[in-house]
Amino acid sequence: MNSENSNTKWGQFISLVSVFFFWGFVGSANDILIPVFKKVFTLSQVQSQLVAWAFYAAYFVGSIIFFLISLKSDVLQKFGYKKTLAAGLTLSAFGSFLFVPAATMESFTFFLTALFTVGLGFSIQQIVANPLAIKMGSPATGAHRLTLAGGVNSFGTTIGAILLGIALFGMGNNKKTALSLEDIKLPFIILGCAFIVVALFMLFSKIEDPVKQEEAKIEHGHKNFSILDYPQLYLGMLAIFIYVGTEVTIISNLPALLKTNEFGNILEEAIPPFIALYWGSLMIGRWNGGVNVFDTSKTTNMLLKFIVPAIAFGVIIFTNIIAEHEVSAFYIYPIWILFFILMSFIGGKNAGKTLMLFGFSGLAMMFIGLIYPDREIAKFFFISGGLFLSIMWPSIFDLAIAGLGKNTGKASSFLIMMILGGGVIPLIQGRICDFDLTSPEGIFGISWTHFSYIIPLLGFAYLAFYGFYCPKILRKQGITHIETEGSSH
């Protein structure tokens, strides 16, 4: 029985991670839709960003609705993880099919409604799938299972934009110059059908329902659930808000940074390789973190910690070369990857320690990026933030829901709400960047756009604090699995 509870249930886990793939796929597809809608509907840049806002707002609204329903009757307790997850997938399928009438009517508002509906379904899926991935085996490797799922998410992010781009624009000599909303229909019909297939697969899968097994060891009265009873949760909510915001703001403002005189006036057409390197950095980190889930010897684990990031970096370089991007400047980047690997060894399988170390590492990278005199090198310090952010989501999630028992569903809905940070924090950094328009002399001898990276620096500082402080909170509650370097078997 003990073996059953401690080993990762691979058959069930692989079924689950297909959902994570779709989140990444649609998330990166949004990056294609924004410029398409901007051109077709003649939108301003702010109006085109409503695509991203619709997506983030859906997570926020969906989480609030889920929580309010759970107050009356806990959704996960009543319906179980599988049925709730299938319902979220069905809602996203409905949203995908709405793209067809939206394209027929050529209505930007209808498109936003369709995307919002897909996002609502995603919010339910996130609330269920994140804790479910953590519970599919040993508590000591829960965060690493979520990291591995995040690696699948990153793979979806990598190919989502490419595949939608091919569907809309063609490829090679057959590329289209005229954009047609009609071309959007087929990809989203296929996506909707895929959601339904996965929903049916989930319903009939052998995934065990943790709700039927778990008993809340620590209860502060789940009928009158209060966030204030769980400091690990409300501090974790702020951590998720800051984490998502920091992840998005580094890359959202990078094109503006690279376009400044001090960073070489890099134009828009030369920006994609740097964006690929940033998102690829998250993939490197997540693939590396996922190694801890596998039941391997210490020697094999150590070798994989070097081999897997090397393969992931090779994927980034290879895809850029295929796209005929100049990447010779990237060959210095393994220096940052090696430092990341060193930190992952020190952090081990301890969620709190890893979060603290990566928080301090990210803070250091942002600080060096602000003061390093060679701007050719400085930009890589900012991009490397992706490496240290890569495993933070599962570490925060694992810490924040520890000891919540039957309130896990409610807690998860609050954490997913905080994805809203991805829509708020980039605006704050962007506002600092805009000071260059009125005060071109800059501050402390650097441009305001360069100085704006103080925002992710502060974000990393809080994340390091949460990693340091949360295990102390949990210890007081008698919860120790989070801070134990358990093995994967």
pLDDT for res 291 = 77
337 versus 265: which is more confidently predicted? 337
Lowest-pLDDT range, 139-153, 200-214, 223-237, 462-476?
200-214
Average pLDDT over residues 153-178: 62
Per-residue pLDDT at 463 exceeds 90? yes
Express each pLDDT in 202-237 by its tens digit.
787 766 655 555 444 444 444 567 787 888 899 999
Q: What is the mean pLDDT of residues 419-425?
A: 81
Residue 441 token pair: 């002399």
Residues whose CB is less than 8 angstroms from the CB of residue 318 and which lie 6 or more positions away in sequence, other chains included: none
The more confidently predicted of residues 125 and 99 is 99
Say yes or no to pLDDT of 254 above 60: yes
Average pLDDT of the segment spanning 15-33: 72
pLDDT bracket for residue 240 (50, 70, 90): very high
- Mean pLDDT value of segment 128-134: 75
| d(C-alpha 313, C-alpha 316), whole Å | 5
What distances in angstroms separate CA 366 from CA 87, 267, 310, 380, one per listed residue?
A: 41, 23, 24, 10
pLDDT at 96 over 50: yes
Q: Give the pLDDT band of residue 355 (cuts 50, 70, 90).
A: very high
pLDDT for 170 equals 57
Q: Look at residue 5 in the predicted model and tell me its pLDDT.
A: 41
For every residue of 15-60, DSSP letters joined together read HHHHHHHHHHHHHHHHHHHHHHHHHHTT--HHHHTHHHHHHHHHHH
Specify which of 145-159, 260-274, 338-352, 450-464 reaches the highest per-range mean pLDDT. Answer: 450-464
> Shortest CA distance to 57 belongs to which of 126, 130, 120, 124?
120
Rounded to whole angstroms, the Cα distance separating 221 from 226 reads: 9
Q: How confident is the model at residue 460 (pLDDT cuts 50, 70, 90)?
A: very high
Name the band, by pLDDT with cuts 50, 70 and 90, for residue 175. Answer: low
Across the range 345-365, mean pLDDT stands at 89
Cβ pair 272, 325 in contact under 8 A: yes
The tens digit of pLDDT for each residue in 388-402 reads: 998 888 889 888 988
Whether the predicted pLDDT of 333 surpasses 60: yes
pLDDT score for 408:
78
3, pLDDT greater than 60: no
Mean pLDDT of 421-449: 81
pLDDT over threshold 70, residue 263: yes
* pLDDT for the residue numbered 483: 44
Tell which wins on pLDDT, 170 or 136. Answer: 136
Average pLDDT over residues 139-158: 71
* Structure-token pair, residue 161: 């934009």
**pLDDT at position 362, please?**
96
Q: What pLDDT score was predicted for residue 44?
A: 60
Span of 223-232, 257-266, 295-304, 411-420 with lowest mean pLDDT:
223-232
Angle among Cα 230, 234, 236 to the nearest 5 degrees reads 105
Give the pLDDT mean for 181-204: 84
d(Cα 356, Cα 472) in Å, to the nearest integer? 13
Q: How far apart are CA 265 and CA 268, in angstroms?
A: 10
Determine the Cα–Cα distance for residues 311 and 318; give it in Å rounded to an integer: 10
Q: What is the DSSP string of 272-337?
A: HHHHHHHHHHHHHHHHHHHGGGS---HHHHHHHHHHHHHHHHHHHHHHHHHTT---GGGGGTHHHH
Tell me the pLDDT of the chain averaged across its residues. 79
pLDDT at 57: 80
Cα 173 to Cα 169, 177, 269, distances in angstroms: 11, 11, 19
Which pLDDT band holds residue 101 (cuts at 50, 70, 90)? very high
* Predicted pLDDT at 168: 65
Residue 489 has pLDDT above 70, yes or no: no
Q: Name which of 219-223, 251-255, 259-263, 305-309 the model is least confident about.
A: 219-223
Neighbour count for residue 229 (Cβ, 10 Å): 16
Angle, helix 454-476 to helix 421-433, in steps of 10 degrees: 150
pLDDT above 60 for 7: no
Residue 35 has pLDDT above 70, yes or no: no
Q: What contacts 224, CB < 8 A, 6 or more positions away?
A: none
Q: Please, are residues 405 and 216 in contact by the beta-carbon 8 Å criterion?
A: yes
